[in-house]
Amino acid sequence: MEITVEHNTRAAQLAMHSLPCSIDHNGPANISSYFLVESDTASGVHAAKFRGRQLAGITAQVPSGLVGALLRESRPALTDQEARTLDVAGQFREFTLWNLETPPTAQADMMRALHAIEVAAILHGNDDDPQPPQSETPSA
């Protein structure tokens, strides 16, 4: 099975929110009118309410060298042998990571996943790579 991702450098920028609950719905919703975000510029903590629950969020930047992409399969594959095509339907440079009551810490799963990208550059790099992936990389 082969999966191809079609690039699209002009894909629209998306406002992304990762919510600390599972919403059993896929489809359009009037998010910008009903999900109102108040941001404290000093602390960088965002506040919003969802279903009467107080949420606290932080802005998570997509690490440099990466770009957030919304991959969409417009035509679902009928068999698992079939070649599949995903389109970049939108992109993002940051997203808001929400938590209940208290803002997410660096120990939150998603923050750790973002940090793991940096670690992967060390783990999968070699001393004599033509371009060291990180500045910390000791050059041989």
Q: Specify the stretch interacting with other proteins by CB under 8 A; choose among 14-22, 39-47, 51-59.
A: 14-22
Comparison of 59 and 67: residue with beta carbon closer to other proteins = 67
Q: Specify the stretch interacting with other proteins by CB under 8 A; choose among 39-47, 51-59, 84-92.
A: 84-92
Q: How far apart are CA 99 and CA 39, in angstroms?
A: 14
Query: Among candidates 105, 22, 8, which has minimal Cα distance to 60?
Result: 105
Query: According to the binding rule CB under 8 A, does residue 82 interact with other proteins?
Result: no
Comparison of 8 and 102: residue with beta carbon closer to other proteins = 8
Query: According to the binding rule CB under 8 A, does residue 91 interact with other proteins?
Result: yes
Question: Per CB under 8 A, which of residues 117..136 are in contact with other proteins?
Answer: 117-127, 129-130, 133, 136
Q: Specify the stretch interacting with other proteins by CB under 8 A; choose among 1-9, 38-46, 51-59.
A: 1-9
Taking a C-beta distance cutoff of 8 angstroms, is the pair 117, 64 a contact? Answer: no
Helix (H, G, I), strand (E, B) or coil at 110: helix
∠ Cα 116 103 58 (to 5°):
65
Query: Among candidates 47, 45, 49, 50, which has minimal Cα distance to 23?
Result: 50
Q: Binding string to other proteins for residues 40 to 69, with x set by CB under 8 A, is what?
A: ----------------------xxxxxxxx
Cβ atoms within 10 Å, residue 58: 19
User: Applying CB under 8 A, what is the total number of residues that bind other proteins?
Assistant: 80
